[in-house]
Amino acid sequence: MKTYRLNIWRHDRLLGHFDSGTPWAAEAVKDIAGRLGASDGYRLELLVATDERRVVESGPGGVRVLGIEPLFVKTSLDEHIQG
């Protein structure tokens, strides 16, 4: 399952981002992108997590994962909206 991040700007001001790792994440990105158009001043950037970085701790009780950080790569929004 892929994790998507949609960065959202309006009038060249970053508003924030939308992250989704659900089974229907691609559908959610299409839905949001379809609602926020350039004619209204929005600019969107799509990133897809291709890998992840894990922070681990090793101790007497063994190894445990402390955190997971997705590693995103910029991709074409048009391919995901059309596809």
CA 74 to chain centre: 9
**What are the structural domain ranges in the chain?**
4-82
Give pLDDT tens digits for 1-10.
Answer: 789 999 999 9
Mean pLDDT of the chain: 92
Q: What pLDDT is attached to residue 1?
A: 78
d(CA 32, CA 29): 5
Percentage of residues of the chain with pLDDT beyond 90 = 82
Alpha-carbon distances of 21 from 31, 51, 58, 71, rounded to whole Å: 15, 13, 28, 13
Return the sign of the alpha-carbon dihedral for residues 69, 74, 75, 80.
positive
In which band, very low, low, confident or very high, does the pLDDT at 80 lie, cut at 50, 70 and 90? low
Paired with 42 in beta bridges are 10
Give pLDDT tens digits for 6-34.
Answer: 999 999 999 999 999 999 999 999 999 99
- The predicted model scores a pTM of 0.82
